Structure 1
Amino acid sequence: MNLEKLKTRINDIVLEYAKTVTHTGTKLEKNSEEFFNKWFKNLKEISKLPLDYGIYPCKDDYLERSVAYSLIRGKSKKTVVMIHHSDTVDIEDFGKLKDIAYDPEKILEKYKSGEVDLISEVKNDLDGKWMFGRGICDMKAGGSIQMALMEEYSKDENFPGSLLLAAVPDEENLSAGMRTLTYILDDLHKKYDLEYILMLDGEPHMREKDDEMIIYDGSIGKVMPICLARGKLTHVGQVYQGLNPISLISEIISLTDVNPMFIEKRGNTVSPAPTWLYSKDRKYVYDVSLPISAGAYMSVLPLSRTPDEIMNELKNISLKAFGKVIKRTDESYKKYLSFYGEEGEISYPPKVFLFKELVDEVKKEKGDIEEILKDKENDLTKKVFDGEISIPEAVFELIESLLLNYSYRGPVVVWGMCPPYYPSVNNMELESGEFMNSVMEKTEKFIEDEFSLKLKVQNYFTGICDLSLAMLNLSDESIKYVEENLLMWNTFPLALDLIKKYSMSVLNVGPWGKDLHKYTERVNKDDMFKKIPEIMDFIIKEMYK
């Protein structure tokens, strides 16, 4: 490859790509279609290899977004899949500079002029070695490197393998693009019998040391357990005749928040303890009654634990919490009665269900209720996509609709999984794990010899990324569990069977970046123009050997 020409081409692509406004979660994401149609035209003109490319609509997407993909077929059906996300976060933090937030050249000049308050570290990076602008680092630099490399490879009639590039929307939100890529992989496999061997993401890395770059060979998972506690309604003046669901939720939170039993160490990565993101009663007006129910949801970031293992552990903890609340309430009641010289007892059976368990319980009483739940979910899905309610709110309402059909009217705790769900992934989960380790050893030597840099291979990217949907190592039983307990599936449909079928190795190799999602977001030019293109090229060619 002519590196000088490659540098020029990356620069041309990234400047045009950055100026293509693709604000996540809005119809502005569709602007990428025009950008890619123009790029496809150029690719078609220069390619000497068979091409397949297009704009593939995201399935049932309320914003009608699409995945832009292009495939070159070389000497082998072994296929490396290069992905990057085309959406960027908003520009509100740019303040009065919002009009030029997407223009790297203009924003740099403004920062140099001294009109904007910048900390010393940012001022030091105005030395011409960094490119600034919204989305430039996260992650249009990585995407531009991939596109320039594909152009180069397409000119080589003897290119040793096949290469698929996909620009996916919605990474910053619910991964509609990555979920759609699963179907593209299936279509192209059926068409060309491709063998997918690696998914190569170009997300930036943040360096801990200036002389040490980071490559990720996995990504942490995300499970969002959601809990609804129904109490027993009563007037506050007769508090012992009811049970406060806030007390139930509070005890569950107390026993689970930052609970160290959920911390995992795998490879060189340690997962953080779980924490709660939301907790509130389900009371919408003031009165002097106890709330009938309270809801909460939390975040669990697993490295190897499966969703069913996590949810069953939460259920067991909730049973203990339920027992503690009943015991505490009963002791208070006994103390209260003692002032009257009376005796009494408060006792409720500790009823804690996973969503599917409660469905089965209600079906015993009323027969099949699947249609009722399906109709409710369809109504709630429309409200979510119309912006009327959030996905967690929809989940709470779905659980409440199920409880309305349950004959037992006493206190109950119900658990489900709220979208989004991301499996944890790492190359050690696949048979190709040892081969990938050897590729990383060779890459480490290449980086040291070529750039005098150290390489740190981090086993899990802990910021959540689309690579989580590149492989699936769950058992059939665990997959069934996710399908039955991930609520509001219509808002986050996952083709788990296809993800498992096309499971491939993963790597995240991206340029050095700083201040992602901030107005000082920037990417290192030497990484963007030289180091990362050469490293990606080295890895891709190693994969075909």
Structure 2
Amino acid sequence: MLSCYEDVLSLTKKLVHTESIVNTEGEQLLAEQLYEMLKSWTYFNEHPEQVRCVQTVNDHIRRSNVLACIRGTKAASARTVILMGHIDTVGIDDFGHLKDKACRPDELKEALADESLPSAIRQQLDSGEWMFGRGVLDMKSGVASNLYLLRYYAEHPEELAGNLVLIAECDEEDSSHGILSALYPLQEWKQQYDFEYVAAINSDLVSPRYEGDENRYVYKGTVGKLLPSFFITGAETHVGACFEGLDPNFIASELTRRINYNPELSDEAYGESTAPPVSLKQMDLKPSYTVQTALAAYVYYNFLVHSWSPKKVLEKLKEQAHLAFDSVLQLFEERYRAYCARSGEPYQEIPWTSRVYTYEEMNELLTRDWGDAYTRHMETYMRELLADTSLDSRMYAARVVEEAWKWMKDKRPAIIIFYSSIYSPRVELTDKTENERNLSLALEQAVAYVQPHYEHPIQIRHFFPYISDMSFVALSDDEESIRSEADNNPAFGQKYSVDYEAIRNLNVPVINVGPYGYDAHKKYERIEMTFSLEIVPNITNQIIRSLLA
């Protein structure tokens, strides 16, 4: 076992002390500090070309990734392991009056001692075994672990029969500009040094899966995340004649009732299930108050996957949309008949039926109907819409769909399904390739080696359950699935882009070995220091030694 606790603790505090909130100047500041620190090491004085501070591409602000590589001298080998972790954090406003201490773990600990805390948090604080502060868990202690190991092998390259690459990437918390940009220098080093990337080890946070869970987890592969979105049109009417129209909010509400928390929409693989989808936005698109019902509504949902492709998710949600639409029309009819019986008004047959299209299907229909006039109009509209910087990718996509809908000849109520945000692809370790089998075995052996030195059980699971940059170093989806996501996302290639070919060219099996704690993104973010500062770097080191022996 490496005696690394104090060194990783010191590195963690250095990283945490620099406030590096995503989409702020702090990201660039920390990258520059980290770059200067690495350059000061003897190894990089002798090999300055092997440490780089590389600005992100196609980004709206200036920020950079830091990359460094150690070339082992024990034996000539192309085999290369990547250590990866992000240096950005979420904001600190939730710290309230302790905001000025959010990035000062020692000062924060003293201040929290005088606070009224929940009993479990109080016990952890008083134990001295936990560190509090923004970024300690997500995920600067993980980056510190990687830095420690990089420094160790910079001082002992003779112990490596292969190579070690570190990526400290920015912008994981928003749009993954960091890791998507890092793909290119990784490819450059692959060609320059003839690297064969055999494994990537991410060091993102690990938390209990349920209350009372004493296990610590390491993960093979990662969950995928989609943002399926629904543009819902109704039939506008004055509220005094409500049954003459169809409120799109009525349809949206039924859609959310069917999709939210629905375990049938949890994707299961290897005996592990994703959390079911949940609504992240539900709104109508009326710009202001009127006594007319809304013309359209917009909803989108967080959707996690283990094995389902973006195409499969669209198929499942198209079915749910039809069921929701049918249910709404049935309930509408029942209530309309009951109202007519009460009011004495004559009942009129309902003129609507369930209509559901994907964005791709609607585009194909409109292109057939209108040809170049439609496509030229939409190209111009989308380009001009980019000038509105207040629109994120989700509202940008909604506006594009809304504009396309204006070209529909049949304006009866309908649901349009599309994606409106970046897809974080699922990554599955199938053990079908030699590199995957070697990495799985190395992980198992590392856990077995370290477990006797730690009191809590360390368990291996298949899918890291949170969104992370692991999604952008390998692909488990085929070309058709990826194309389905892009073709059904109006924001793709406009508000963001993903070079899937660059990911396929890297395509390295990836696992997560990261710090353990609670309340990432919250005021009481904290790590259990023994696991995070000692066990994590030792597990990671054993994997490195197994793969680069």
TM norm structure 2: 0.90
Instruction: Pick closer, same or farther for the CA change 1:168–1:336 going to 2, 3 Å.
Output: same
1:500 corresponds, among 483, 493, 504, to 504
**Counterparts of 1:48 and 1:540 in 2: how far apart (Å)?**
23
**Counterparts of 2:517 and 2:297 in 1: how far apart (Å)?**
42
Deviates more, 1:370-379 or 1:421-430: 370-379
Conservation of the 8 A alpha-carbon contact between 1:271 and 1:301: yes
Shift of 1:409: 2.0
Shift of 1:179: 2.0
Conservation of the 8 A alpha-carbon contact between 1:51 and 1:72: no
**Counterpart for residue 38 of structure 2:** 40
Instruction: Pick closer, same or farther for the CA change 1:343–1:36 going to 2, 3 Å.
Output: closer
* Residue 96 (1) aligns with residue 97 (2): yes
**Counterparts of 2:213 and 2:353 in 1: how far apart (Å)?**
59
Conservation of the 8 A alpha-carbon contact between 1:48 and 1:154: no
* Residue 517 (1) aligns with residue 521 (2): yes
Instruction: Pick closer, same or farther for the CA change 1:543–1:211 going to 2, 3 Å.
Output: farther
**Counterpart for residue 150 of structure 1:** 150
Which amino acid in the other structure matches residue 35 of structure 1?
Q
Conservation of the 8 A alpha-carbon contact between 1:87 and 1:169: yes
Which amino acid in the other structure matches residue 393 of structure 2?
I
Conservation of the 8 A alpha-carbon contact between 1:83 and 1:202: yes
**Counterpart for residue 73 of structure 1:** 71
* Residue 374 (1) aligns with residue 379 (2): yes
1:396 corresponds, among 385, 395, 398, to 398
Instruction: Pick closer, same or farther for the CA change 1:454–1:381 going to 2, 3 Å.
Output: same
**Counterparts of 1:349 and 1:13 in 2: how far apart (Å)?**
62
Instruction: Pick closer, same or farther for the CA change 1:373–1:53 going to 2, 3 Å.
Output: farther
Over aligned residue pairs, what C-alpha RMSD do you find?
2.6
* Residue 234 (1) aligns with residue 237 (2): yes
Deviates more, 1:223-232 or 1:403-412: 403-412
**Counterpart for residue 449 of structure 2:** 446
TM norm structure 1: 0.91
Conservation of the 8 A alpha-carbon contact between 1:258 and 1:273: yes
**Counterpart for residue 285 of structure 1:** 288
Equivalent position SS for 1:163:
strand
Equivalent position SS for 1:413:
strand
Conservation of the 8 A alpha-carbon contact between 1:512 and 1:524: yes
Query: Deviations 1:356-408 (Å, cap 9, x if unpaired)?
Result: 1111111111113444333333444443xx4x234322221111111122222
**Counterparts of 1:93 and 1:344 in 2: how far apart (Å)?**
54
**Counterpart for residue 16 of structure 2:** 18
* Residue 139 (1) aligns with residue 143 (2): no
Shift of 1:335: 6.0
**Counterpart for residue 483 of structure 2:** 480
Deviates more, 1:331-340 or 1:176-185: 331-340
Which amino acid in the other structure matches residue 483 of structure 2?
K
Shift of 1:522: 2.4
2:464 corresponds, among 461, 464, 469, to 461
Shift of 1:167: 1.1
**Counterpart for residue 129 of structure 2:** 129
Which amino acid in the other structure matches residue 134 of structure 2?
R
Query: Deviations 1:54-91 (Å, cap 9, x if unpaired)?
Result: 12222121122221111222332211111111111222
Query: Deviations 1:309-357 (Å, cap 9, x if unpaired)?
Result: 1111211222233333334445555666677685642223432111111
Q: Percent identity?
A: 25
**Counterparts of 2:327 and 2:44 in 1: how far apart (Å)?**
70
**Counterparts of 1:106 and 1:340 in 2: how far apart (Å)?**
73
Conservation of the 8 A alpha-carbon contact between 2:225 and 2:303: yes
Which amino acid in the other structure matches residue 197 of structure 2?
Y
Conservation of the 8 A alpha-carbon contact between 2:163 and 2:548: no
Q: What does 1:21-420 align with in structure 2 at a 5 Å threshold?
A: 21-43=19-41, 45=43, 51-74=49-72, 75-111=76-112, 114-125=113-124, 126-158=126-158, 159-207=160-208, 212-330=215-333, 344-368=348-372, 369-383=374-388, 386=389, 388-420=390-422
Unaligned runs of 5+ in 1: none
Shift of 1:418: 1.6
Instruction: Pick closer, same or farther for the CA change 1:245–1:508 going to 2, 3 Å.
Output: same
Which amino acid in the other structure matches residue 516 of structure 1?
A
Conservation of the 8 A alpha-carbon contact between 2:280 and 2:302: yes
**Counterparts of 1:283 and 1:246 in 2: how far apart (Å)?**
11
Instruction: Pick closer, same or farther for the CA change 1:517–1:248 going to 2, 3 Å.
Output: closer
Conservation of the 8 A alpha-carbon contact between 1:44 and 1:51: no
Instruction: Pick closer, same or farther for the CA change 1:376–1:79 going to 2, 3 Å.
Output: farther
Question: Number of matched residues?
Answer: 538
Which amino acid in the other structure matches residue 434 of structure 1?
R
Equivalent position SS for 1:239:
helix
Which amino acid in the other structure matches residue 161 of structure 1?
G
Conservation of the 8 A alpha-carbon contact between 2:221 and 2:427: yes
Which amino acid in the other structure matches residue 222 of structure 1?
K
Which amino acid in the other structure matches residue 23 of structure 1?
I
Which amino acid in the other structure matches residue 103 of structure 1?
R
Which amino acid in the other structure matches residue 379 of structure 2?
K
Instruction: Pick closer, same or farther for the CA change 1:531–1:374 going to 2, 3 Å.
Output: same
**Counterparts of 2:157 and 2:392 in 1: how far apart (Å)?**
50
